[in-house]
Structure 1
Amino acid sequence: MHHDPVQLPYERAEGRPFDPPPGLARLREQEPLTRMRYPDGHIGWLATDHATVRAIMADSRFSSRYELMHLPLPGGPEGPPPPAPVGDLSGLDAPEHTRYRRLLAGRFTVRRMRRLTARVEQITAEHLDAMERHGPPLDLVEAYAHPVPALLICELLGVPEADREVFTRRSAAVFDPEAPFDEQMAAFTRLTEYVHELALAKRKHPTDDVLGELAGTDLTDAELAGVGSFLLAAGLDTTANMIGLGTFALLSNPGQVAALRAEPDLADQAVEELLRYLTIAHTGARTALEDVEVNGRLIKAGETVTVSLQAADRDPARFPDPDTLDVRRKATGHLAFGHGMHQCLGQQLARVEMRVAIPALFTRFPTLRPAVPPEEVPLRVNATIHGVRRLPVTWDEG
């Protein structure tokens, strides 16, 4: 059943903000590994079922190097992408990747996670207090979903107290999809310059945070600054959108909120299910370094395979009744954090943030609800990270 190359379905259905583009389910059913025409004209592949996506991501014969990629989503830069900037782990293969990964993996220790959990609880409480003082209605993204992870990144990088407000504001500008591209880029440049200076300061006076510890390793100054910028970019936009979109998904499924409030022990399971159900980093890509046979099809060296993580996480063969949000589901094995050697390094931290921040919101504001009809909640469309731009909420006071 081999058809003409398909184009990547990326338009979500009207009124279905949490569901993958409908075209993906059809492909997953008919031809889970299919030829695909890329925006630059390249003919590569698209994988949509859980088993195939997982197998490709675990296979070292596929490369993650940006400069070998054809980009699956339209509207990207013309021509092949530049190589990964220094310190960007996601665009590297072994052995370069291995060295960074090893240095970083040891930094996300159980002890640090415990300490960060206490900080998340504190930061969360402070922002809930501020929301209560402000009173309804307000934008949950601005008041909560963005600042909580931003302050946690400050904690991780060891941003001094005095700089945190500016840091949080600048990071909001970087990830504001409303802002013109050049403004986003300018804000990002200012932020990376700041991280660069911070990294160099930690060379002279090491501190007890991830960047401070990395300052004592054999990383060059440029690598140290690059890793800092990578952690910032990887850890902020993702978690902010998981908290925002995750809250919107729960508000749209009141029965699930009721279950979560009745059984607080469901928090861990609920977070895994939200990760599976939303899979906000929805599309990945790998390029074959040699000819590889997958599902009886020959993927030739140099061909890019787009892996649809969102389609894989809605695969009925892996998750029964996949289009239902069910906080009681055991959603282990989802691919929201990727799979293989590039599986998200900060996944434990992301889990901690969501486990604390999402239930706390419903505990503090039991009557929390959207302040606008669901179709008026502005989504981030065609961004590499799916999410909400704003989430107007209200609640009953007193």
Structure 2
Amino acid sequence: MKILRYLLFTSSLLLGSHSSSLFAEENGDWFTPFSWEAFVSQSVIYSSDYDYLSRSDDEASLDMWEAGLLFSTTVKGSIGVSAQLLGRKVSESSGEDIRLDYGFFSYPIYQSFDRSLGLRLGRIRSSYGFYNETRDIPHTRTGVVMPQAVYFDMTRNSFYSADGVEFFGSYDLSGEPLAFQLFLSQPVADKDELEEASQLSPSKLKGDRSLLAKIIYGEEFDGWRASITYFKPEYEVSVEFPAGDDPLLMIVEPDASFYSENIVTSLEYNQFQWSVTFEYLRHKFQTNIPALASEAVNDFYEEAYYLQSVYRFDEFWEMYVRYEQTKLRGSSDPKSSFDDANFGLAFRPDENWLLRAEIHYIEGYSRLFSRDNSISDEPDPYWTAVLFQLAYRW
């Protein structure tokens, strides 16, 4: 039954892409140029001791798959339109998720030889760090999974896009682009993800407001580039909890809230055959429950980083080596840390097919899903994970 649903969704993407092409051809005066792309991937994950992004504890799991259809066009030569429909599954507990990943209009307000200013409106990809905007397609990632120190799979949907308005622009500074983005939005409220991150079970969950501001300097494909990103999504929740020792006596708090405040500093050096990337995250999570004003509830400060190098042997083969670390400030508990030394290989026989393999040597658990794992009081903090992925795009 799972395979049937998977094939049906993939078939619908193929049908949708064909219909979109026919529509564009029939309305060529309005929609020029029109481009579309689709992709599908299947991963195999095996891990020791714990379930890592799937039911992979001491067994090979086929839970994780992705399939997507994206298109872009320009209406009457000036208004850009881009959208992506994504189907994705990580594990049985997360279920199958089909969503509009993004869909927005863009308009160039001002353009000249050395500067530009534009506007986007709709469900927009969050320009969080260097790689959040390109994490959706397997072919544009470095590995099967993103560096969990900065790009959490725990909150992938919540961090990937939001509904709002974004101003963006660039200026040519001594031959190098200096660009900015300012994104005001209402966060996407993914209930499963936010329950996992907040450790709350709210009866009401609503995205309140979000601010993302980013400055980036340098070219993506040649030489140095650097950026700093500030991102703060806020949410409203309604929660209930026991009053005292009586489990039958509950207090309902309809005006609770929480936010995730993130500052990402990014630095990268690119050459044709190799690149080195470093990103550092300072992350603050704070919960506000007025009925418990005198107590801190699930508040924490986290610091994380990763250092990664990619080497391209030729047009077919590439490899990466990465070390990433996540630490909860003031804590030495392995439940609140995550150290991952990993490396992987990628083979691209042509522009469509992609085959990946990678291995992770891990200490700690803070990037494991609590819904998939029950961590004992004295667990073994050292474990490994092996991941394979086959992907195709057209």
Which band: TM-score by shorter chain? under 0.3
Bigger helix share: 1
Q: TM-score, normalised on structure 2?
A: 0.21
More strand by share: 2
TM-score, with structure 1 as normaliser: 0.21
Greater Rg by CA: 2
Q: Which has the higher contact order (CA 8 A, sep 6+)?
A: 1
